């Protein structure tokens, strides 16, 4: 099985239980809320949500304003869950989605007021190329908003110091997942942890690194905020 296929199955298998596991974790919602709050979204804004998954972030944007959302995700199973919500809440005129890998994503230049991405860009290896592509798709004055784990997993996977650095985060992640999301959430995060350690489809960088990548891609002001009571999760807003 090639890398892409394995990745599709990983998210495909997760889709049915995503909202019942990660979707029950409080700090995940706190990060999504901070993304929406930091976006200054307003009525009629055109938003692109990269790695939209089951639509948790899209629904929060729509609770805040009468905006339009385009979601992109490579997992049909995640999108099926999202579609169920779009139909249930009668949001067909407000949300469209594309089943596509981000590496192949093509939109016209200067189309979006806001481009958001939560817990997805760390799956992309070549971050600079992706951020440059996002920059082009944003209108002048538009914002890129990244919600991610502030974790540097770069380096040699045989380096024990790197392992200890990642374990600092994982020990907290595991215990909170168990406490807030139960055994299923813990089990999912435990499997995920190994992927972080082995850089197996998970390539986290720190927010200092994200900031440098955004500066290199020409973004103007860049602000970074931590999720209240959870410094490992941060939100970056970069203005074009
Ligand atoms: C951890 S989930 C986050 C979902 C959602 N943004 C949230 O915060 O709940 C990551 C999502 O990114 C999608 N994804 C991962 N790699 C992708 C890629 N290369 N292209 C498109 N989507 C991708 C997965 O299918 C999954 O839905």
**pLDDT single digits (tens) 129-173:** 999 999 999 999 999 999 999 999 999 999 999 999 999 999 999
Residue of 222, 206, 226, 212 lying closest to 166 (CA atoms):
206
Which pLDDT belongs to residue 1?
Answer: 39
Q: 117 and 58 in contact (C-beta within 8 Å)? A: no
Whole-angstrom Cα distance, residue 95 to residue 67?
9
Residue 82: predicted pLDDT:
98
Q: Which domains does the chain have, with CATH numbers?
A: 3-151+203-239 (3.40.50.150)
Q: Tell me, what DSSP letter sits at residue 210?
A: H
Residue from 15, 52, 74 to probe ligand 1 pocket by mutation (most atoms less than 8 Å from CB): 74
11 lines ligand 1 (CB under 6 A): yes
The C-alpha atoms of residue 193 and residue 76 are separated, in whole angstroms, by: 24
Q: What is the value of pTM for the model shown?
A: 0.94
Ligand 1 centroid to 54 CA: how many Å?
9
Q: Using CB atoms within 10 A of its CB, is residue 56 exposed (0-12), middle (13-18) or buried (19+)? A: buried
Q: Is the pLDDT of residue 8 over 70?
A: no
Q: Is the CB of 33 under 6 A from ligand 1?
A: no
148 lines ligand 1 (CB under 6 A): no
What ligand 1 atom has the least distance to the C-alpha of 31? 8
Model confidence over 77-97: pLDDT tens digits?
A: 999 999 999 999 999 999 999
Residue 119 beta carbon below 6 angstroms from any ligand 1 atom: yes
Our mutation pick for probing the ligand 1 site, out of 10, 34, 51, 99, counting the most ligand atoms within 8 A of Cβ, is 51
DSSP letters for 26-53: HHHHHHHHHHHHHHT--TT-EEEEET-T
pLDDT value of position 181: 81
Eight-class DSSP state of 191 = H
CA of 231 to the centre of ligand 1 (A): 22
CA distance 165 to 162: 5
Tell me how crowded residue 220 is: count the other CB atoms within 10 A of its CB. 10
């Amino acid at each position: 099985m090639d890398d892409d296929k394995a990745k599709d199955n990983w998210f495909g298998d997760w889709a049915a239980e995503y909202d019942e596991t990660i979707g029950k974790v409080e700090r995940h919602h706190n990060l999504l809320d901070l993304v929406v709050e930091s976006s200054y979204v307003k009525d009629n804004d055109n938003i692109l949500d990269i790695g939209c998954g089951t639509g948790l972030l899209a629904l929060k944007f729509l609770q805040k304003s009468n905006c339009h959302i385009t979601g992109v995700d490579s997992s049909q199973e995640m999108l099926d869950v999202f579609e169920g919500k779009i139909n249930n809440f009668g949001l067909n005129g407000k949300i469209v989605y594309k089943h596509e890998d981000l590496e192949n994503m093509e939109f016209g230049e200067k189309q979006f007021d806001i481009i958001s991405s939560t817990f997805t860009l760390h799956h992309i290896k070549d971050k600079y190329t992706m951020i440059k592509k996002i920059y082009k798709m944003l209108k002048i004055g538009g914002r890129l908003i990244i919600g991610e784990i502030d974790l540097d997993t770069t380096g040699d996977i045989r380096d024990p110091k790197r392992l200890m650095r990642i374990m600092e985060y994982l020990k907290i992640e595991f215990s909170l997942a168990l406490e807030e999301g139960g055994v299923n959430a813990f089990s999912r995060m435990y499997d995920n942890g190994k992927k972080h350690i082995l850089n197996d489809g998970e390539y986290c960088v720190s927010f200092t690194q994200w900031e440098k990548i955004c500066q290199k891609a020409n973004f103007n002001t860049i602000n970074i905020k931590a999720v209240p009571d959870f410094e490992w999760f941060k939100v970056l807003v970069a203005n074009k």
